[in-house]
């Protein structure tokens, strides 16, 4: 960690200085100075050129379409999302596809396909047991015969209208889609790309990072100002990517008492609670540019599910030079803090605008949301308020 750590820290500092200049450029445009922001948007001003707070389409516009489909990504972009998220898992023959989990039982029609009945199995993934069908047991050609469907039909029955309309996209298809849309719109389409269960897949000989880096290089999206964030719940995956590409990197953080799975495997005793302390944040900042914490790490909830007092995480992370993109805002009561629910129907929409404002007031740099249109309106209220 010694020299390499300081080298990486120096690199991170230089990157932040350069990106800080991009922000000044964007500010210049707001003052009516020539060039600046428009040029940065076209030619790649880096992540600091994004609007703040940044609205990130979580798995696309997954509040309205089956998640991780080209339909969900397109709708998020059409709604105006600043960044659109993909989660990556591999196929048996090593292709990267967009699914939140390698268990595709709930997000495809695989259970209704008699030809794949024999593929149903039970696996241990990151210490938890799952029974179903898994991407690593299918070739890409086989996976492409399946159709995507709504993951939580009980909460979002209207989304089932679109079941079967789209297939499972490859990440390469998403990169091509982003290129087409960037040309059409005259500005870069930003992506937020997560490596899922990287230690698990490396153990199967299906390492994600090298495959991801190869695709990013193929499409020229591997540089520090490229419009692609890379993120993972496993810090070692981000450290690996830091050696392969120049993209802005984000460490995702789950609940305070949890441990990243690569820490469990390596015998590292640190928990997320350790990583959000100044020393842990300094360590993350030595190889990454951002954090993706659960919203509960920003403002914890009490026993009744109501918000309490914000933690110092935003201030401490900013002091370490890190940006924060917490997850996930959703419109339905069941996903909102108790003090922002309306009525008794868990699937009805609550006071999500009120919740957005409280989170924005903490100083977060952006947020993942299943409902990008709602997030953008809330952002407008906040910025203009």
The two tokens of residue 89 are 């898992």
| DSSP conformation class of 134 | B
User: Collapsing DSSP states into helix, strand and coil, what is residue 294?
Assistant: strand
> Residue 3 is inside which H or E element, if any?
helix 2-30
Distance CA 342, CA 349 (A): 7
Contacts of 118 (CB under 8 A, 6+ apart): none
Cut 0.85: pTM above it: yes
The DSSP annotation for 243-278 comes to HH--S-EEEEE--TT---HHHHHHT----HHHHTSH
> Residue 22 is inside which H or E element, if any?
helix 2-30
Compute the CA torsion angle 295, 89, 62, 46 (nearest 10 deg): 70
Q: What is the largest CA-CA distance in the chain?
A: 64
| Residue ranges of domains in the chain, CATH in brackets | 1-49 (no CATH), 51-99+168-384 (3.20.20.190)
CA atoms within 13 A on the CB side of 225: 18
The β-bridge relationship of strands 190-195 and 83-90 is parallel
Q: What are the φ/ψ torsions at residue 7 (nearest 5 degrees)?
A: -60, -45
pLDDT at 165: 98
The beta strands (E) that lie in 18-144 are given as: 54-57, 83-90, 96-98, 121-125, 128-132
Q: Mean pLDDT of residues grouped by 10 in the chain (385 residues)?
A: 40 37 34 35 76 98 98 98 98 98 98 98 98 98 98 98 98 98 97 98 98 98 98 98 98 98 98 98 98 98 98 98 98 98 98 98 98 98 95
> Residue 381 is inside which H or E element, if any?
helix 372-384
């Amino acid at each position: 960690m010694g020299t390499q750590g300081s080298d990486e820290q120096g690199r991170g500092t230089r990157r932040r200085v350069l990106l800080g200049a991009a922000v000044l450029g964007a500010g210049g445009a707001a003052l009516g100075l020539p060039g600046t922001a428009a040029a940065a948007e076209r030619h790649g001003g880096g992540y600091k050129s994004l609007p703040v707070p940044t609205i990130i389409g979580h798995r696309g516009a997954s509040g309205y379409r089956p998640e991780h489909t080209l339909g969900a990504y397109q709708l998020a972009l059409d709604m105006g999302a600043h960044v659109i998220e993909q989660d990556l898992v591999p196929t048996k023959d090593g292709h990267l596809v967009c699914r939140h989990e390698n268990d595709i039982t709930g997000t495809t029609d695989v259970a209704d396909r008699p030809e794949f009945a024999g593929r149903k199995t039970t696996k241990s993934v990151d210490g938890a047991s799952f029974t179903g069908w898994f991407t690593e047991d299918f070739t890409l050609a086989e996976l492409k015969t399946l159709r995507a469907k709504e993951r939580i039909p009980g909460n979002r029955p209207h989304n089932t209208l679109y079941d079967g309309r789209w297939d499972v996209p490859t990440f390469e298809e998403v990169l091509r889609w982003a290129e087409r849309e960037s040309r059409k719109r005259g500005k870069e389409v930003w992506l937020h790309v997560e490596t899922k269960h990287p230690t698990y897949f490396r153990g199967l000989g299906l390492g994600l990072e090298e495959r991801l880096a190869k695709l990013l290089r193929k499409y020229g999206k591997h540089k520090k100002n490229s419009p692609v964030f890379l993120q993972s719940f496993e810090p070692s995956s981000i450290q690996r990517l830091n050696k392969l590409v120049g993209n802005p990197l984000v460490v995702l953080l789950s609940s305070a008492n949890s441990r990243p799975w690569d820490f469990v495997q390596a015998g590292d005793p640190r928990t997320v609670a350790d990583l959000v302390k100044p020393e842990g944040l300094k360590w993350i900042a030595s190889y990454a540019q951002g954090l993706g914490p659960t919203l509960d790490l920003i403002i914890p909830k009490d026993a009744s599910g109501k918000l309490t007092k914000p933690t110092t995480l935003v201030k401490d992370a900013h002091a370490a030079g890190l940006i924060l993109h917490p997850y996930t805002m959703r419109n339905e009561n069941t996903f909102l803090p108790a003090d922002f629910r309306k009525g008794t129907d868990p699937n009805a929409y609550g006071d999500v605008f009120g919740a957005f404002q409280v989170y924005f007031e903490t100083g977060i740099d952006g947020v993942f949301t299943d409902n990008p249109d709602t997030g953008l309106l809330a952002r407008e209220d906040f910025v203009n308020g």
